[in-house]
Amino acid sequence: MDDAELVVPWEKQQQRLLNPNDSRGTSPVRKSFSYAGVTSTDGARSVAAGLAVVSADASLLINEAMPPNELTSVSRHPSASHKTCSRKSPSVSDPTAAIFQAGAKMKFMPFFVKQLGPQVLASGSAGGSDSSLEVTCSYISQEEAKQIDEELFTEYAFSVDQLMELAGYSCAVAIQSAYPRAAMKSSDGGVLICCGPGNNGGDGLVCARHLKLFGYKPTIYYPRSPTKQLYKNLVTQCEKMGIAFLSYIPSDVKILESSYDLIVDALFGFGFRPPLKPDFAEVVQCIADLQVPLACIDVPSGWEVGEKTETKDILQPDCLISLTAPKLCARRFNGRFHFLGGRFVPPILADKYNLCLPQYPDASPVVLLSGPPPPTPSK
């Protein structure tokens, strides 16, 4: 549609503005609001956010909602000494991205306009030349991550297996987005998931099960026999789906490189404290030596969860899938894809910790925080 159409009379629209006395001038662009997300000839978009209809004039909205000195940081939990991640300011040609970024500052979550799907959200661009994305999101410390987890299990009555299922499914969706099955031609969809003894390993087991359902051919490296019933159940589920298990990692890297198009690190999560034990240190070094893309779940194994001190970051993943919120160590991530998964944080809990979390696209359990748009598989 080329010409803007007023779906709601201007007088009524004024009543729904955040500031009813602000008519936002006489510009037809600024007055063109629509529940249908009509795009005017001047390129502005309109967005409905509950009963508050907000102008999609990007420059006006950003200037009013986010002062220049706040464009790269958002207030954090009082106990935290860190800031949120920085991101690029939206271009004039990308008013929707401006609204998305301002939404976290202005207590509303805009519904995206017509035809704005996950691909546009992932790119952070609506026709601009820059196809990369950087989205505002809070980093949390190891202690904060533990506190949030504990509250989810107690005050919010989530069970461990419930959150593990949501987290593992999120990881599988992120992997499918970044590494489409159709693109894995050399190994015919082969993925090696390396699972540790704790909850991060449980996330990996769940991830493997969903990847199997997505058409991949996962293999699980699980060096220790589980003792807890939860992990025994996850192993049984994978075995019943025909997923193969490895008890050791072949020393010949060529065997691994010819058998798998992706390695998934699910050895240790945010509870890890260095150093790595010798047996796992060997596995981590073997993974690091492979010329195969690596995706890490929540925290790259062996990394210090907080600020780096003396430990070397051996693993350098191509993809990082943060859960709940990115940990401080994610600042050191230099790979292509950074996803946030685990869409289970209650808004009240997020407010308590002043978490700045991005809006997830549609019903997706993951959102791309930084990186290029995920590749589109060729047919």
Express each pLDDT in 296-348 by its tens digit: 999 999 898 887 777 788 899 999 999 999 999 999 999 999 999 989 999 99
What amino acid is encoded at 367 in this protein? Answer: V
Can you say which residues are annotated as belonging to the binding site for (6S)-NADPHX? 199-203, 269-275, 298
What amino acid is encoded at 185 in this protein? Answer: K
Alpha-carbon distance of 23 to 18, in angstroms, equals: 11
Express each pLDDT in 46-99 by its tens digit: 333 333 333 333 333 334 444 433 333 333 344 443 434 333 333 434 433 443
Question: Any idea which fold 142-371 has?
Answer: Rossmann fold (3.40.50)
Alpha-carbon distance of 244 to 241, in angstroms, equals: 9
Share of the chain above pLDDT 90, in %: 50
Per-residue pLDDT averaged across 205-221, rounded? Answer: 98
Can you say which residues are annotated as belonging to the binding site for K(+)? 200, 265, 301
Query: What are the sequence ranges of the domains in the chain?
Result: 10-128, 142-371
Strands 319-323 and 337-341: parallel
pLDDT for the residue numbered 375: 62
DSSP 3-state assignment of 129?
coil
Alpha-carbon distance of 366 to 350, in angstroms, equals: 17
Residues contacting residue 106 through CB under 8 Å, at least 6 positions apart: 18, 54, 65
* Angle at alpha carbon of residue 171, lines to 165 and 177, rounded to 5°: 135
- Residue 170 parent element (H or E): helix 160-178
Is the pTM value of this prediction over 0.75? no
Can you say which residues are annotated as belonging to the binding site? 199-203, 265, 269-275, 298, 301
